[in-house]
Structure formats: C-alpha cells, structure tokens
Structure 1
Amino acid sequence: MATNTITCFTRFRAARWAFVAVLAAVLLVAFRRQGGEGDQPRVLDSRLELTLFAENPDIVTPIGIAIDSLSRIFVLESHTHLPPKDYPHPRGDLIKVFVDSNNDGRPDRTTVFADGLTEGLNLAFSPEGHLYTVTSRAVWTLYDRDGDGVSEERRKVLELTHPASVYAHAALLGITFSPDGWMYVSRGNTGGQAWKLVGTDGSSVSGYGDGGNIVRARPDGSRLEEVATGFWNPMDLKFDATGHLLAADNDPDSRGPNRLVHVVPGGDYGYKSLYGGSGIHPYSAWNGELPGTLPYAAGLGEAPSGLLNASLAALPADYQGQMLSSIWEESRIVRIRLTPNGVSLTGEPEVIVAGGAEFRPVAFAADRNGAIYFTDWVLRDYPNHGKGRIWKLSARPGTTASRPRSPNRAAGPNDGDRPLTELYASLDADQLTTNLQSTDPFRQHAATVAFTKPALRQPLIKATADASPAVRLGALIALHRAGHEPAEPIARRLLSDPDGRVRQRALMWIGQVGMVALKPELERALTAGPVAPALFDTYLETVAHLTPDFVDAFKNRSELYSKSIKRTLPPRFIEKFIGDRTKPADLRALAIRHLKNPAEQGPLLVSLLTTETAAPLRLDAVRALANVSDPTVATQLLRMATNRAEPALVRAEALLALARQPTDVSTGVQTLLNDPNPDVQLEAVRYLRTRLSTADARKLFQPRLASLRTHPDSPMAQQLTLAGTAPGGNAPKRPTSLAAWESVLATGGMPERGRRVFYSVQATCSSCHAIEGRGGDLGPDLSNVGRSKSRTQLIQAILRPSQEISPEWQGWSIRLKNGEEHQGRQIDVGGKEIELYTQAAGFVTFPMKDIQDYGLIKTSLMPEGLESQLTVDDLRDLLAFLQAKK
C-alpha cells in the first residue's frame, strides 16, 4: 500500500516502457475558482483562491519550479522522464520562463531559458541569484550573465559518478539553499547500488547498502559532506521559518507512512537499502523504533513531492511557521501545523487543496508578492504524456494576509537547532551523559554524536558500565559510530546487559561491523533477561550477518545491488533451535515463525503438539501447520480443535489451519457448531462453508439459524447467512454503497478474530500479503500497515482496490503469441526479454520474440468483491487487526 510518485515517481526496475502517448492541444484558459467543477481541484480554505496560470501545450509534464527576484517563473519541463516511443517533443528537458508583466493572472511571455537537460528534477535559486538545477546524475549552475533571459553557460558543481546506471528518481532529487550560503541536496537510495557523489574540489561522499541521504556543499561544489542518512527517496527539502531543515521522504514498499523529517547533522532516519525495498528488517527503522535512529516530525500521505515554507507566502496569519506539501498520489496539497516537540518539531497535515484523478501537484515556489505557484503533472501516467499545468494559489481579495518573508532574510540554518548545536560542540562528559538520559531523542542523538570525539573516548568507554541503561545504550551507539577499536571486548560484555535494548543494539553493532569472533557468544543476548520478538529477530539476523560469505561479499561489494547479497543462517539452524528442549519455550515459539518451508517440517511441528505443553509453543506450531498438507496433520489439528481442554485460541487456530488441509473432516467439525466457545463456532462455520454445497449447508445450518433469528446481526447469524442458509426477512442487511460501508465499518472489531479472517480461505488476504513473515509477496507486506493507513483508507483499499493503485504494485499483463496470458507486477522490459513477477512462480522471463503484446492492467491485481465472501463483522475484525499492525 506504499507508493512513490512522479517526484519519487516510481520504484519500478524498468528502464524503458513502450507506450503510446495521447496528446491534447488545448487553448490556454484562465479562470479563478474557490470550489471546483468536474475534475478541477477544490480549495478547502475559503480564504484562499486557486487560479490556473498556464497549461498544455504551453507547459507539459512540469516538475521543478523556482521564482527569481523579478518574479519571473522558471519551470522545469520534463521530456526525458520516460518518453514513449515516437514521442513528439524535444529530446531534452527544458527550463521555461513565464512572465506576467501586467499581473492579469496569465503569462504575457514564455521563453526557453535552457534546454538539453537529461532527467531534470528540481530547481532553486541561490542567495546570489543563480539558478541551479538538479538532474538525476548532477547538479548544475546555469548562468545568464548578459541578462537576456537565456542561459549561455552551465557548470557542473556536483556529479554522481557511481553507479553507472540508476533509475532517475532514486538518485539526486531535491535542492535548497540556507541563508548562510550552503547548498543542500537530497539523494535517493540508488536501488541499493554502490554510489559516489563528487564535488568540484575532489571532496566526495559514498556508500553501499545505506539509505538515501542529505548532503551539503558550497555553491561552487566544494567542501562536500554528508549531513544525514537513512532515507528512502527524499524528494524535496526546505528550511522552515525558524531555520529547521525539513525533508519530504517517500516510504519503502511496506514501511509507511511517507514522512516529513526534521534533518539534523549526523541524523540516521532508519532505512538501509542493504535490507531490500520493503523497509521491514530488524536492522531498519522508520520512526525512531531502533536505538540510534530518529523519528519523523509528521506523517504524510502517499508520495509527497514538494515542500514550501508558508511564511514565504502572503497567506492568512495562521499559516505563519507552517509548511505546505504536495501529496502527488492523493491529488492534494496539505498544510502542516508544526509545533515544538522537545528540541524538534511535530505536526499534523490538513488538506487545503483537493483534486481528482487529473490533479497531480509536484513543486512550489513563491513570488516576491507572496503568491504561490505550483506545477501539476496532471495525469497519473509516469511516461511523458503531453499534459501539464501551473497553478497560482493566493489569498482571496479582501483577506488579511501576512507579509511574505524574503527567503534570503529567513532565520539562519541553525537558529531552530541552537540547543542541538551547543550539544554537538560540547566536551563536557557530564553534560552529555545527562542528555543521553533525556526523553527527547534529538537530545540523545546530539549527545551521542558529541561523544564520538576522540577527546571523550575514555569517559565514553566508562559510560558503557553506567548504572543507567540509557547511558549504556548511548555510549554503545557512540562507540559504534566512532568506529572504536578494539570493539569486541565491549560488545561481548554488553551482550549480557540486563537491558534488552542494550543487548539488541550490541547485536547490531556486532553484525554491522562483522565481529565474526563473537558469533559463538551471540546467544548471551537471549539468556541475560526477557526477550522481546524484536530482540530475537535481531539475534537471528546477526547470526546471518556473521556468515563469512556475507562478510566477504559485502566488504568486496561483490553484488551490483547490495540487497542481492545472501545472508543465510547455518544449515538447519532454526529446526535445531526449535527442537532443543533446553531452550525456553517462548524462544522456540518465536523461532517457529522463521521456518522457511513449514511443509518440510511437518513431523517436527506435529511432535510439538504431542510432547509440549507450553501454550505459546503449541499455538505457533498450529499456525505453521496451516501450510503443511498431510492427512496426519489434519487428524492432529481436528483432535486439538475438538478438545475442550485446549485453550479456545488454540482450538480456533486449529480450525483455521484445517481449512487449508486437503483432507475433508467436515463430519468431525460439525459437532463444533454447538461448542460453548463463540470463536470455535465461528471457525467451524468458516471451515464448513469451504466444504459443503449450498444445499448441504442450508440443511445443516437452518436449525442453527432458527435459534438466532432474534439476533440476525450476530456474528454467527451473519456467518450462517453467507453459508447459504435462507433466513427470510430476518437476513442481516448489508451496505450497498462505499459510503454506507464506510459508515458501518467506521469502528469496532476484534483484532484476534481479524487475524483469523486475514489468514482465512474466504478472505484470501494472505495469498498476496504477508504479516510478520507469514503470507505471500505479490502484494505489499502489511506488518506495519496500521502506522501508514487510516481506517478509512483501509476500507477503501479493500472495497475499491482499483481506485488507487500504488505504482510499485501496478499490475501488468503479457500475452504470448501462442495465446497464453500472464499477469503479475514489477515488469522489467529489456531489449530481448521481459521479466514479470507472478504469484505462482516469482520472477518469470519471457523472450521478446514470443510476446504478442504487453501492458498495464487497468484494474488492481487485488480482486474486487472481497466483501461478498465476508460478513460485516468479519470486515470489522479484519480492519481492527490491520489497524493494530503498528
């Protein structure tokens, strides 16, 4: 359910797509509107108005925008993003200049400032008044020394020299300038490839397997240095009114939400490309979940593309100090009300402009009078398509508006971060130790960074034995960041720390540095105190990190894509762990979740049911057996389901697992229709629905339904109705429209029941989606979906899956010359073959010579009509379960 956009603009692997563009030449029309007609955007703040300033053919597929001191509007017009075959436009990107000299709301003159750019993304003026443009591979300064409105010189000030090839919107992305003259540039994650960015003086930054980052340099490209890391694709970055640097970061496939990030020096925001595109990994974080990573300031909608400091515009006074962001995928513009949160910021977005399917806002700029102009890609299509608009957003006549702040007179870049700046510079170990114990993660971070100074090494080592777990944790992180040697003695000691977070972070230090000598001692982390699932997952990942093959491959960068380097546990490591009765039952239960192929471990799992008494171990064994097709397994599951001495949760899960078994045990399950436990009853009905014909179901369930007529909306009555029993006039009424469904499903539900709905054969959710390692991978992992999606968004995604299709989950079809048709996602088109990811077989390669046709599927790969197989209470429970995944 995560996405990128046309400033992110996709995560697809494809380098080329063959499309036929449908172009429209429309006369320019200027109009003002507060509301909207048809597919035009609507302004939701009655004090503002929206004006169409320009549209195609005068501007097509616009991205970046910047406005100079003369209020000339410079717009980057994309022609090289993904041009379709026979694209009837320039071969290079243009920078056009629009001038509205008589202030009538439409351009009087349009000229071309520069052309011939490739994969342009963003524009910005430096404090000195020079125009800079970011392309995927370089940052350029464009000069117009004679003032004729045409650039006669361009200089490359930064260059991405590696990798040799990378998708445009995972490379260089955004640009801004601080009032003190530094140039800040954002970089995407380069798909996990090794990268190197070089300045004009030879200064450079580089990485492999890290996340995207923010760098800075002088305007001439010298003194290049990294500012922060741990991003996915930070599409834009801007300073706010008080000098905080903020970035709009798109989210990985399964780790939402998109986020507004307060960027501070040395900040790590959690994402690492080494661990793949999902964003879900024990060594990764997204909202400061891991020690040493920082949280975001605000969650944003799908595909934030541009940012604007609202104080630069002439807007009502309550916009002062706020940020505006374009939300490309959701066709919206939001204002973010930022408020102090310790020494950082927090805020909530509020929609101020909303449009339909043909409104895709991208980037902002404000003129000297405080009017806001923004670009509109118009269509959701990624290839260059010939549509485009520029809008003007301003206060309505008569509205009291604040005077716009000059961008070159804004607060200094560190004014808002002054408390952190003082900590960064500190050499006072006592002061830093105190801040390591702060509840403010940004103070903790600044103290950690300050503690990395060589002059503080001895008090830092001493701090690893402090009485406070927070101090020990901060000291450990600082030693890791500083590259302290020798590391092994301290890491070995901290493996036995009584605090679980310290042990977890010690494991990460050992794994990321590659302390192979400590591999035999890793299990200390599991015996020194309580073990949370996250700590156990980190333990397993650390074992895999210390495999010599992985250590060597990562060190030597043996794979083009870092995420392709295999990290594997020793042979039968998990099986041996599960079978070791000297280990605690709760840890063995956690290990069951990591079985790669439960179908090969049927005897082991069944033995747990016959020899073990610990409920957690038995429950996880039952859940794993759902994927083990065997008559012996079915017999054992039925025995557990019908045994009233078993916990009700285990019995219900046994019935859920039985539904996936080929053996029909309907006769045994029928006795459970009268079971005293309602959860067991519900699962019994679900099982029988998959085994009985409508006639047989009616015969079996009719007597049961008769006793429920006084409660036709009860969960059992709803199940029996869907099973085919005719309840007459007492049938539970079901919604008939999306709005009605949203109303009925707005609240309620039981998460534990919802888990069983998710994994049921009726819902089929787990066929394509995984949660915490269980399920399919044709769709996004939903382990953290409750963090990124509201209940309303979840309802819409379930009931109207084709309404908004995230780009990386876009369906594709291939029709072969022999008549076969294949569907999947993540298509990769090459010169001689096409690769498609399918549910049944993963990646499948088709030779181009065998292909008749291929293209986008207009509907979602997720089927329509899911609700027809589920009761209203099923859906409520499912939503409650998904919402709880945070």
Structure 2
Amino acid sequence: MWHCLTHVCSLFPGNKWITPIPKGNSSLLGLLLLIVACGKGNDNAEPLVVDGVRVLDERLELTLMKQAPEIVTPIGIAVDEKDRVYVLESHTHLPPKDYDGPDHDIIKVYEDSNGDGIWDKESVFAEGLFEGLNIAFSPEGHLYAVTSKEVWKFYNEDGDGISERREKLMAFTQPKQVYAHAALLSITFDTDGYMYIGRGNTGAAHWILQGSDGKEVSGYGDGGNIIRSKTDGSEPEIFSTGYWNPFDLKFDNYGRLLVADNDPDSRGPNRLVHAVEGSDFGYQSLFGGSGIHPYLAWNGELPSTLPYAVPLGESPSGLLNANLGRLPQDYHDQMLCTIWEESNIVRIAMEEKGLSVRGSTEVIVQGGEDFRPVAFAADSKGNIYFTDWVERVYPNHGKGKIWKLSAKKNTELLAQRSLYDSPKANAKVKRLNQLLSDPTDFDQHFKNLQSDDPFLRHTAVVGLSRELHREKLAQNLENESAEVRMGVMLALRDSKHPDEAALARQFLEDPDPEIRKMALIWLGSQGLVSQKANLELALSTGEFTTALFETYLETVKLLEPQFQQAYQNKEEEISKRIPLELPDDFIAGIVRDPSHPSQMRAYALRYLEDPAEQKDLLLDFLFLEEEEDLLLEIIQTLANVPDPQVADALLQVSLSTNKPINLRAESLSALSRQPLESWREIIPLLEVSSENLAIATARYLRNKSGEDEVKQAMERVLNDGSSCDSEGLRQQLTLALSQDTGKRPDTEDLDAWSSLLEGPADPDRGRRVFYSNNSLCSTCHVVAARGGDLGPDLNNVGKSKDRKGLIGSILLPSAEMSPEWQGWYITMKDGTRYDGRQIDVGYDNIKLYTQAAGFIQVKKADVSEYGMSKASLMPAGLEKRLSNQDLKDLLAFLESQ
C-alpha cells in the first residue's frame, strides 16, 4: 500500500544497447527505446529490458515517454477524446524543507500532434491543487481531480487543453487535517450519471464529506468507503464500506466495480474486491490499525461481510480494464494493476464465481528499486500510459517517469473498448443488479438466505431489510435453518428496527454459536447498553467457542459507560484513542466465580493480561479445583509464568499418582519452560505403564540426555522390551539419544510421507507437541487463543486443509506461501539480521513485526539491505526434531481444529 509495507526487488541491469541520452532530451530517448523494443521481439530472446525494467510478456513493448526533469513525481494520469495525455504532477506530497519545486500541484498535458508516437507538444492544463491524488475524465469529457480533501471539476470550454475555470464539488469539512494516503484517493464514473470516490480510513478520525448540494455523509471509527454521487457532486451516499485504503477503482467490461484496497498492518493480503451496493468488506478503524479484532473481517469471515475477489501484492495503486488497451487476445476481460511496493505490474485473470468473480495475478512488468508504477490511462489507439514515482519515499523528490505499454506488431489483439462504452450483457451481473434493486419479492430473497454464494446472501439481506418485511421476518426468528436465522437477524439489524435491543437479545440465546456471536456484535456496534446484563447468555447457551468468548469480551468493553459516553459525544477527534477496556479485575472475577461454567472459567484464563500477577490464585486453583478442563487451562497458563514456586507445583502434579494422566503429562510439558532444580525426580516416570506419561517424560528429558543418569535410564528403558512396548516411546527415546531413527522419504514425496504417517494418533499428545519446545509451533501460530501471531491462526486449519495439505505445510513451508503471511528481512550494517512479517519503511526508520519483540524499529542509515524473504518464516526441517509418532499426533491435533 502507499502507506507502509515495503518490498525490495532485485535491480535488473539496464539494457546494454541503450546509449545514455542527455537529460532533457526524453523525446529522442523515447524514440530510441521504442526502436530497441521492436528489435527484440523474437521468441528466443531474453526478456526485454528498458531502462532497468523487464517486460516479462514477450508480446509487449515498453517505451519511456518522459522522465525528470521534464516530469517529476507524477501520480494520476488520464487521456481525453483527442488522445492528449494529462498527468498530475505532485509537488505538495510531504515535500522536504529544502524542496525547490512549486508550492502547488500541476496538471500537465502531452500531445503527439503528427502521429509518430512521440509527444511533441506540452502545456499546463491547470495548477494550484494541494495534495492531488488522482484525475479522471467523466463521460461528458470534463477532467476531475481528487485531492486529499476535495473533488474538483475542470472546464476547458474552448478545447485548447488549458482549463479556464474549476468548480469544487465535494470537500471534507472535518477533519481539518488529513493524511494524504488515508483520505480521498480515487475516482471513476459509470455510464448512468454517477461518480464514485474512494475514501481511505482517515486514521479513525471523525469525518464529514459535503457534496455540492450541501448534503453530507460522515463516519466515526468506520473503515474506508466508496462514496457515490451524481457527477455534479450532489446526493452523496456511502455505496460500500469496510476498506483500509481503496487506492483505485474501475469498472470491468460487464459493469462490475472493482476496487484495489491496501491492507492493515497485521492482516492481509492487499486485495481486489467486487464492490456492490451496501457491501461491507470488514475493516473498521475504531479497532486500530492491526486489522485483528473479533469485530473485523478481511475475507468475508463474518457473515455480514463479503470476501475479496483476488489477493494482490503489496501496495496496489492503479487499475485498468485491459480491454481499453492494445493487448494480446488472452488479456480479454482481465485487469491490469500496478503493485507499487513490489515494483511491478500484474495482469489479473478472473472467472465468475456465483454472482461475483475470483481470480489470480501474473507479473508482466518487473522493475527494481527505482520503478514505482502508480496510475494507468489508455488512448483510443490502445496505447497504455502509466506514471512512475521512481523512488520508494513519500516526500516529493524531483524524480519521475511516464511509460507507454502496448503490444508488438503482428500480435493478435483483443477487441478494444472505449472508456465509457455501455457494459456488455452478462446474466450474472444482470441478476445481481435486479436483486439489489427489487426489495419486494420476499419469497425470492428469503430463499436466497440459504445460498452458498455470499453475494446472493448479501442481496437477500439488503432486500429483506426493508420495513415492509419486518412482520414476516419476525415469524422466522426460530426457523429451523441456522442460515435463515442468521439472515433474518442481519436483515432486522439493517432495518433499524425500533425494538432492535430486544431482538438482538433474543438471538443471544440462539443454538448456533455464530448467530450468538453476530448478536453480540450487533449489540456492541449499536451501543445497546440496555442489554449489557444479558451478554453472558451468549456463553451459557449451546456450544462454547474461543471466538464467541473473544467477541463477548470486546462487546463488554464497547458497552462500558465511559466508552459509550466518549464515543457518542466524539470526545476524541480520533475514535481509536478512546480507551476500550474491561472493568477492573473482570477476567480474574470470571475465574474466581464458581457460579460460572467451568468451561467459561477455563477460557477466561487465556485472557489474563498478566498471569504472573494472578500466580497465587492460579496455584490455589491448581490444588482445589476438580474440573479437569479448568485444571488443564490452569496448567497451560502457569506454563508461561516462569517461577520456582510454579515449577515445584507443576512437579507435584506430574508426580502425583492420583491425578489424571492427561494433567500429569500436561504438567510435564509445562515444566519445559520452568526453572526446575529438582528435575531428576522426573526420571523414574520413564518407566511408568502409561504410554502418554512416559512419552511426555521422554520429551521433557530430551534436552538433558547428555546427563549420564538420564542417558542410562533412557537406554535401560529402550533395551528392555517388556517396559518399552510403545512404539511412540521407542521413537522418542531413539530421537533423544541421537540414534538411528530409520529411513524417511524425501521431503518432496508427500505421498510416501502420507503412508508413513498413517496409523493411530492422539490429539491430546499432539497438543503437547504443538506447544513443546521441540516443535516451537506455538511461538508463531495460535490455537484457541494460545500462541503467537507471526504465522496464520490455526483454529480452523482442519477445515481449510486436508491431511496431505497439512503434511505439505509442515515439510515444505516455503512451497505455498499466502501473500498475507509473506516474510521480510532487514540486514544491518553490523551483520545483525531481523526476520518478520509486515514491514514499514519510513523516511528515516524501518519497522518490522517480529516474533520475539513485536514491532522493532531501526534507523535506515544503519541498514545495509532489506526486502522480501524468498523462504517462509516457518523454518524447514521441523520433521527432524520430531518422531514419526510426534508428527502423527500433531496432525491429529491440527485435524481436530
């Protein structure tokens, strides 16, 4: 995103055939580069390289049209009906103190008057803008400009390419100051007289956008929005919400509005979404910049939100319908996207899925550190122009380029369209629009509540949320279908029902935990404090889940009087500055109260802010409680409280013959993180009759196998056939003693591994493997609210991956890396290396999210190199530290999630 994350690509050498051209003679340079490009079109040629930029599709050619000093820090670009190219040149984007450029932005115009492919005329169309972000022509032929705070319309009534006057159509009246990368960002038009503006999340500030007719739209703590208005700026409305920063939006051939959205700090990937009326894509700035919160979604995880269409690389900045360009036939119905942070341009192939689309990307142009493509435009001949910011720094820096991309001669071309051609007929798009525009057909919408297509369910909720359906919805509050009940609840919520507090409270007792979770979100989002005393109903009815408990805690925070007063009165300009806190001693109170179900008390232990402060309470519970599930949670909580007193208590449990085997084994696992001096008392447990306890003992003693008495005890058990009839124990001892563990398949042979890992397994043992110091899985992954967040949450991994997929993820972690979990590295000049996820490169500093310390910050001057890791953050070779039985048990644990 234009906002924080970074990627350093290899800087490919420039084309050796290109003779240096003096600055200021870019017309000659463009002609020479065009000749070079056309001369390298044979099938066996290396990828075309133009001024350090590689063209990976050999059917395309790239021409450098302008460069500094003739053009500097260009952002937006547009083409008029005469094929004149308009470029928004930025001079007000965080300029440094010593910046010697103008104090305003300029819109320049370039023209090829004789048709030879070279711009021979240049003029200034308009100037005087501040923090310009984007430009676009309307269907009527007027140029519009979006700045960080305003939308302007320019008039060129005599057609000479110079604007005589301008009109402000929209403007923020609040906040007074905005960050240019999180305010008004993008603009496009449809063929029905509407304008669409992409608004960033405004840093959680209270915002008011006023249209030309005085009508206002506003928000406080919401995500970014797509705002729709008439082309004259009147009748503004929120068309779609839940974005981080939507940097560009364009229509495809069939009238679908596609939006390139950047991702929050700790949640990704960047995404291409299909925006439809009333859609919510899951982000709200109230809950901070990480993107991780029970009230948030990024890929349709909440039933009230929609999934993205295509994952994108870091910092998608510009979109273009490929059919506007002179491109090969197989680009038909695709989109092009500039990926600013990764210095490339991708083509996006899509196919219909339900009433929407899904797709994937392929890099077609790849540059190095000094290639930062931003925005696209195409002329009537199909030439595609795009701007290049050049450097990966935000402040104006005096560099810039404009490029042209097109197909080589003798290439079979796609059917080219004009910018505002009417959308092509499409049955899916037609049905989607009909369902969204017709709320009257109750039966059709009601039926669609049970569809597998989230977009079809969305149309149903939109249709049923109209007041005329309230009575029929009320008759289905207890429908036998959970899908119907969920849809009924969402429709009632969106209908602004006068009895919404009572209705939401009724859903707190629904048998389905997902419905109860959404009822909590309804209550918290609307601030329905009258139901605060009833929130626990969501936890005491039916299945109890981690997600449900997390949502319950966040809802309690939202309904606290102090928060509600500050939020309703907008006491802070920035909504996320209002503290969201539980009442004092709230979690400890749940744990102490025996009237709460033991499962609820057990889950609460996972959320103690500082378990060390509750050490005495936990130790008391360890010997007084009888509920096994609660005791298990107490042991797992104490595992992370290194303390001699805790270690002694866990040792007592491990040695106690009247405790359940599962608790004794769990205590041994917890002891691996404790300062235990009397660990030798554990050695005799190697010879107990319980396989699970003996395996846990052997795993605990592995790092002490160099001690003579441990080695002798292990060898004795291993060589005594009568006391070691457990294959799992034998493998654990063999591994601990560094003996031959037998031949294993190559890591790439997943079929052979699948066969090897067949057989009996124990998910409880697998849980102990997951949290052990041998596997280190939990340092990066979370299950049931325990673990780290450097890697993906594995709470539902058993649903998302089959057994072979899980084996592949363990053995070959770098084979398939999701963009949202891409690793990054920083190498310091003193040789120190940091690895992590989500990097933020500022002007002077670099921040990286690491497993050990969260976000670390280093001075850029002390860094020798930084970039995207080729390998996964999850290290290879996990299988070398685990026995075959360990792996079987670990798989059983993951499959149970």
TM-score range with shorter-chain normalisation? 0.7 to 0.9
Structure 2 partner of 1:117? 129
Deviates more, 1:780-789 or 1:101-110: 780-789
Change (3 A) 1:289 1:141: same
Change (3 A) 1:216 1:641: same
Name the CA distance, whole Å, in 1 between partners of 2:123 and 2:687.
79
Task: Say if 2:603 is the partner of 1:590.
Answer: yes
Deviates more, 1:621-630 or 1:779-788: 779-788
The C-alpha deviation readout for 1:302-357, integer Å capped at 9, x for no partner, is 22111111121222222211222222222232222222211122222233233333
Letter of the aligned partner of 2:245 in structure 1? N
Deviates more, 1:193-202 or 1:329-338: 329-338
Name the CA distance, whole Å, in 2 between partners of 1:636 and 1:743.
45
Structure 2 partner of 1:168? 180
Name the CA distance, whole Å, in 2 between partners of 1:754 and 1:86.
61
| Residue correspondence of structure 1 range 286-305 to structure 2 within 5 A | 286-305=298-317
Name the CA distance, whole Å, in 2 between partners of 1:42 and 1:741.
34
Name the CA distance, whole Å, in 1 between partners of 2:242 and 2:838.
22
The C-alpha deviation readout for 1:631-652, integer Å capped at 9, x for no partner, is 1211233455677998898677
Structure 2 partner of 1:274? 286
Structure 1 partner of 2:586? 573
Structure 2 partner of 1:541? 554
Name the CA distance, whole Å, in 2 between partners of 1:38 and 1:507.
56
Change (3 A) 1:26 1:553: same
The C-alpha deviation readout for 1:774-798, integer Å capped at 9, x for no partner, is 5689x79968999999755489966
Offset at residue 611 of structure 1 (A):
4.3
Task: Say if 2:510 is the partner of 1:501.
Answer: no
| Residue correspondence of structure 1 range 408-447 to structure 2 within 5 A | 408-411=420-423, 417-424=429-436, 425-447=438-460
Change (3 A) 1:618 1:784: closer
Q: Residue 811 of structure 1 contacts residue 859 of structure 1 at CA under 8 Å; is this kept in 2? A: no
Offset at residue 247 of structure 1 (A):
0.6
* Aligned counterpart in structure 2 of residue 519 of structure 1, from 526, 532, 538: 532
The C-alpha deviation readout for 1:799-847, integer Å capped at 9, x for no partner, is 8555998775448989xxxxxxxx9779xxxxxxxxxx99989999xxx
Structure 1 partner of 2:388? 376
Name the CA distance, whole Å, in 1 between partners of 2:874 and 2:5.
30
* Aligned counterpart in structure 2 of residue 631 of structure 1, from 623, 636, 644: 644
* Aligned counterpart in structure 2 of residue 147 of structure 1, from 122, 137, 159: 159
Deviates more, 1:381-390 or 1:509-518: 381-390
Structure 1 partner of 2:477? 464
The C-alpha deviation readout for 1:528-560, integer Å capped at 9, x for no partner, is 211222222222222222211122111111122
Structure 1 partner of 2:61? 49
| Residue correspondence of structure 1 range 263-342 to structure 2 within 5 A | 263-342=275-354
Change (3 A) 1:582 1:731: closer
Q: Residue 824 of structure 2 contacts residue 866 of structure 2 at CA under 8 Å; is this kept in 1? A: no
Offset at residue 764 of structure 1 (A):
8.9
Change (3 A) 1:859 1:26: farther
SS in 2 for 1:364: strand
Ranked by relative contact order (alpha carbons within 8 Å, sequence separation 6 or more), the top structure is 1
Change (3 A) 1:602 1:449: same
Identity percentage of aligned residues: 47
Q: Residue 117 of structure 1 contacts residue 135 of structure 1 at CA under 8 Å; is this kept in 2? A: yes
Letter of the aligned partner of 2:408 in structure 1? R
TM-score by length of 1: 0.80
Q: Residue 192 of structure 1 contacts residue 210 of structure 1 at CA under 8 Å; is this kept in 2? A: yes
Name the CA distance, whole Å, in 2 between partners of 1:433 and 1:337.
33
Name the CA distance, whole Å, in 1 between partners of 2:597 and 2:497.
34
Task: Say if 2:230 is the partner of 1:218.
Answer: yes
Offset at residue 402 of structure 1 (A):
1.6
Offset at residue 390 of structure 1 (A):
2.3
Task: Say if 2:273 is the partner of 1:258.
Answer: no
Offset at residue 101 of structure 1 (A):
4.0
Structure 2 partner of 1:850? none
SS in 2 for 1:114: strand
Structure 2 partner of 1:392? 404
Letter of the aligned partner of 1:359 in structure 2? F
Name the CA distance, whole Å, in 2 between partners of 1:696 and 1:611.
36
Change (3 A) 1:771 1:473: closer
Change (3 A) 1:636 1:102: farther
Name the CA distance, whole Å, in 1 between partners of 2:868 and 2:778.
12
Letter of the aligned partner of 1:552 in structure 2? Q
Task: Say if 2:82 is the partner of 1:70.
Answer: yes
SS in 2 for 1:243: coil
Q: Residue 811 of structure 1 contacts residue 856 of structure 1 at CA under 8 Å; is this kept in 2? A: no
* Aligned counterpart in structure 2 of residue 94 of structure 1, from 88, 103, 106: 106
Structure 2 partner of 1:231? 243
Q: Residue 823 of structure 2 contacts residue 835 of structure 2 at CA under 8 Å; is this kept in 1? A: no
Change (3 A) 1:136 1:145: same
Structure 2 partner of 1:131? 143
Name the CA distance, whole Å, in 2 between partners of 1:599 and 1:543.
24
TM-score by length of 2: 0.79
Gaps of 5+ in 2: 7-21, 41-45, 720-726, 801-808, 828-833
* Aligned counterpart in structure 1 of residue 496 of structure 2, from 483, 497, 501: 483
Change (3 A) 1:716 1:372: farther
Structure 2 partner of 1:208? 220
Name the CA distance, whole Å, in 2 between partners of 1:715 and 1:38.
60
The C-alpha deviation readout for 1:465-502, integer Å capped at 9, x for no partner, is 43333222222212211211122332222222222222
Name the CA distance, whole Å, in 2 between partners of 1:490 and 1:766.
40
Q: Residue 347 of structure 2 contacts residue 362 of structure 2 at CA under 8 Å; is this kept in 1? A: yes
Name the CA distance, whole Å, in 1 between partners of 2:272 and 2:556.
34
SS in 2 for 1:578: helix
Letter of the aligned partner of 1:628 in structure 2? V
If you compute each CA radius of gyration, which structure gives the higher value, 1 or 2? 2
Q: CA RMSD in A?
A: 4.9
Structure 2 partner of 1:621? 634
Change (3 A) 1:549 1:865: closer
Name the CA distance, whole Å, in 1 between partners of 2:585 and 2:84.
67
Letter of the aligned partner of 2:509 in structure 1? S
Letter of the aligned partner of 2:475 in structure 1? K
Structure 1 partner of 2:11? none
Offset at residue 143 of structure 1 (A):
2.4
Change (3 A) 1:488 1:279: same
Offset at residue 90 of structure 1 (A):
2.6
Offset at residue 157 of structure 1 (A):
1.0
Name the CA distance, whole Å, in 2 between partners of 1:97 and 1:698.
84
Change (3 A) 1:652 1:159: farther
Task: Say if 2:253 is the partner of 1:241.
Answer: yes
Change (3 A) 1:671 1:45: farther
Offset at residue 264 of structure 1 (A):
0.8
Name the CA distance, whole Å, in 2 between partners of 1:657 and 1:55.
62
Structure 2 partner of 1:818? none
The C-alpha deviation readout for 1:503-524, integer Å capped at 9, x for no partner, is 2222222222222222222222
Structure 2 partner of 1:406? 418
SS in 1 for 2:420: helix
Change (3 A) 1:154 1:465: same
Name the CA distance, whole Å, in 2 between partners of 1:648 and 1:94.
75
| Residue correspondence of structure 1 range 767-778 to structure 2 within 5 A | none
Letter of the aligned partner of 2:326 in structure 1? A
Name the CA distance, whole Å, in 2 between partners of 1:400 and 1:362.
27
